[in-house]
Structure 1
Amino acid sequence: MSFDFPFKIIKEGAATLAVPDLEAFKKAPWEYAPSKAPVFYNPVMRLNRDIAILAIRTFQRMIKREISVAEPLAGCGVRGIRFAVEIDGVRHVYLNDINPVAHEMAAYNVETNGLSERVSLANEDANLFMNRYAAPRKRFDCIDIDPFGSPVRFLDSAIRALRDGGLLALTATDMAPLCGVHPKAALRKYGGLPLRTEYCHEIAVRLLIGALVMAAAKHEIGVKVLFSHKSDHYIRVYAQLFHGAKKADVSVSKMGYILHCFNCFNRQIFPGIALSLNEKCGECGFPFKAAGPLWLGRLADKDFCEQMEKEAVLNRERLNGQIGKILSLIKEESTAPATYFVIDKICDKLGLPSPPLEKVMKELAKEGFKVWPTHFNSRGIRTDAPAKIVVESIRRLT
């Protein structure tokens, strides 16, 4: 089969795929080629897809039965086809894209990989597609929503189309609003305010989870976060959804605010949806700035991370080499306190040279505090030490 635009055949994981030849659509070096092509395909998201395969395989083994997976925004079908080819426990994959050219290319890729009996194709609006599967006996075990931009407009449909105990995977690429560059846009979309802090990417993840929690609560559904990460230009969340008003209440109880002092690096967790607007830093008296309401619970489940690590070892020949390190860091920090300190940010404000990260960690540990590295920032640390102790430790090392 041929298409009326430049394309090429690639191998990703265990799948053979026709994809747009992105170089043919770039008119200038700085242009974002995936958005120029008639079918969306982004090779940079290979890491995202690799981790998705690990997460869904881990989930399938955790629930110990075959599963159905839906991808409402399938593009050329690379993600869903890899699910069908590389995850033994996937019974059926449902691919959908509103773009008829994408639908045609996905159909070709399904046939090329010999998946016609295990992969179904649809060509309609993503919300309409998911709503067709909202009846209890038709729901999916897993839904993977990987949009260009924000996934929030798909949340209600996805929640309705996911069975009790199912896995919902979400990608958000609208990092400017989520990281505080456009706070009004973040408030409109995610129902919470971001902050332009050194840990803005963590706030972004917590805002996305918070939006999911509040959307699910309307349907009396609770959320358990299994895994999340920030990579490249996007954030990603994997959450298991459980039906029941009490479970929804438990999830909502983990909402709240992160208060940040831009003067002395102090930060405070404020649980609950209501917040006094006159909060001041207890260390220096400077007015706090608030991010939220957002998710204050865990960003990953340690046991789930460990199982993902095992899957990564078994399948390392097909996966991105970064995955092992990412999983290890996320597992380590999964039980750590919210927010992290970036050593360089503190040193810039204090006018000090930046000491090695390892020395700062050892200094805090020597003082009796727990310290963790973070995958969010290679120069960041999580710790149960107060901000002033972190600052004092850095001063002693410089």
Structure 2
Amino acid sequence: MNLIEIREGKVSLLIPNPKDYEKEGRYDPSWSPVFYNPKMRLNRDISVLALSVIKPKSVVDALSASGVRGIRYYIEIGGIEKLILNDKNPIATELIMKNAEKNNVNAQITTKDANSLLYEIKADFVDIDPFGSPAPFILSAINATMNKGYVAFTATDLSALECSSSFSARRKYDLTCEKLSFSKELGIRGLIAKVIREGAIIEKAAYPMFSLYFDYYYRVFFRIENGAKKVDKLLEKQGYYYECSKCGYREVDYYAERKICPRCGIEMKRYGPAWTGELWNREFLLSMKENLKNFTYFDTLMQVNKLLNILVEESKYVSPYFRLDFIASLIKRNIPKREKMLECLKEASMTHFDYRGIKTNKEIHEIVNCIKN
């Protein structure tokens, strides 16, 4: 295997030469014998920033591939006393050993099935960054997370979570759903709901602390706390979102049922069970924003800063975003400028989920009035 050296964050990394695995001038990271995706750099930068708030003593990267994520945590956060880097691919673990040695990282490197490993160990922070769905690893990852520890999941199977593929949504995430106008946010709410239900099985409460939609993936950090009563309170915030495709009317209910729009008389589309609570813990989010000054070397610094500024504003609003082009089309008006809408509604913000959307706790008729005026 021909290796090349790259640099990411504060680490030097050996990876398989992408040129050796090109097909007809194209390259996909999954074609390489060891997975390394440069498009996930922002994901890893954001994760380093989040860990600067968490300050874990023990870290598990259960699907390590090249080892870049766990090695960056060790080097860039400091204070990590135990690091476990795992991948079931022996070619990957051989490369992880080289990269750990190259960066003077003291890590326990294992070649195990991720679920098997996660039922053997406990850690302050567990990272699940799969190629595809995190669903097969959710229960074991929560099980491996210590009380008051943290676990993070990446999901790239947005077609399932956003309900472009309703059968896949049901198989992987227990979702009964249709595509709604704000599905980009519903996808992450569906993922959070699934994590909470999996934690409930073993009486561990999973509190969403930080949620991100970027490019083609979701990334969510959870704080885990033991206790059946805590779990029960979280389960009370699982519900179903309904939307009328004719007038845009919305409802949230805690039972799955056939609903008729009270305004139009047609059957509404449904998505759920989904998390109906906050997507961000504001204290955690503001701490990340404050700590960013310590990571000026990030290649994605400007993007991360811009994202955090938007997240801080949109975290003020619990309700899912409204898509302006969708509402404008329903009332046969031109799409309004977002700035005009924010000024008219007063209590509203941009959303990172969709450049066409706004976050607000106002009702749809108030948004319609602003578009018309």
- For the 8 Å contact 1:84–1:92, the answer to whether it is kept is no
Q: Are 2:7 and 1:8 equivalent residues in the alignment?
A: no
- For the 8 Å contact 1:76–1:106, the answer to whether it is kept is yes
Deviations 1:27-71 (A, max 9, x none): 135x551010000110000000000011111112xxxxx510101
Q: Which of residues 324, 327, 335 is equivalent to 1:346?
A: 327
- For the 8 Å contact 1:142–1:167, the answer to whether it is kept is yes
What letter is aligned with 2:48? I
Q: CA deviation at 1:197?
A: 2.3
TM-score by length of 2: 0.96
Percent identity between matched residues is 35
Distance 2:320 2:27 in 1: 32
Distance 2:24 2:42 in 1: 25
Deviations 1:316-358 (A, max 9, x none): 2225120011112112112303211122223344443222100
Q: Which moved more, 1:378-387 or 1:203-212?
A: 378-387
SS of residue matched to 1:293: strand
Distance 2:203 2:244 in 1: 35
Residue equivalent to 1:94: 84
Note the residue ranges of structure 1 that are not aligned, 5 or more in a row.
61-65, 134-138
Residue equivalent to 2:113: 125
Residue equivalent to 1:389: 366
Structural mapping, 1:14-29, within 5 Å:
14-29=10-25
SS of residue matched to 2:13: strand
Distance 2:299 2:320 in 1: 29
Residue equivalent to 1:300: 280
Residue equivalent to 2:126: 143
- For the 8 Å contact 1:266–1:387, the answer to whether it is kept is yes
SS of residue matched to 1:344: helix
What letter is aligned with 1:129? L
- For the 8 Å contact 1:178–1:194, the answer to whether it is kept is no
- For the 8 Å contact 1:83–1:93, the answer to whether it is kept is no
Residue equivalent to 1:77: 67
Deviations 1:288-312 (A, max 9, x none): 1110011111101111110000111
Note the residue ranges of structure 2 that are not aligned, 5 or more in a row.
none
Structural mapping, 1:55-66, within 5 Å:
55-60=50-55
Residue equivalent to 1:377: 354
Q: Which of residues 315, 323, 327 is equivalent to 2:308?
A: 327
SS of residue matched to 2:263: coil
Distance 2:132 2:319 in 1: 25
Deviations 1:100-128 (A, max 9, x none): 1111111100000011xx31100111111
Distance 1:127 1:143 in 2: 12
Q: Are 2:294 and 1:314 equivalent residues in the alignment?
A: yes
Q: Are 2:281 and 1:291 equivalent residues in the alignment?
A: no
Q: Which moved more, 1:86-95 or 1:102-111?
A: 86-95
Q: CA deviation at 1:205?
A: 0.4
Instruction: Name the Cα RMSD after superposition.
Output: 1.4
Q: Which moved more, 1:16-25 or 1:299-308?
A: 16-25
What letter is aligned with 1:330? L
- For the 8 Å contact 1:194–1:203, the answer to whether it is kept is no
Residue equivalent to 1:63: none
Distance 1:28 1:355 in 2: 43
Q: Are 2:233 and 1:250 equivalent residues in the alignment?
A: yes
Q: Are 2:346 and 1:358 equivalent residues in the alignment?
A: no
Q: 1:332 to 1:35 in 2, by over 3 A?
A: same
SS of residue matched to 2:362: coil
Q: Which of residues 179, 185, 191 is equivalent to 1:202?
A: 185
Q: Which moved more, 1:229-238 or 1:88-97?
A: 88-97
SS of residue matched to 1:329: helix
Residue equivalent to 1:165: 148
Q: Are 2:249 and 1:266 equivalent residues in the alignment?
A: yes
Aligned length: 372
Q: Which of residues 98, 103, 106 is equivalent to 2:96?
A: 106
Q: 1:336 to 1:171 in 2, by over 3 A?
A: same
Q: CA deviation at 1:178?
A: 1.2
What letter is aligned with 1:315? F
SS of residue matched to 2:297: helix
What letter is aligned with 2:231? A
Distance 2:264 2:349 in 1: 26
Q: CA deviation at 1:285?
A: 2.5
Distance 2:203 2:323 in 1: 38
Distance 1:35 1:217 in 2: 34
Residue equivalent to 1:136: none
Q: CA deviation at 1:389?
A: 2.2
What letter is aligned with 2:112? E
What letter is aligned with 2:279? L
Distance 2:134 2:281 in 1: 22
Distance 1:180 1:28 in 2: 32
What letter is aligned with 1:59? I
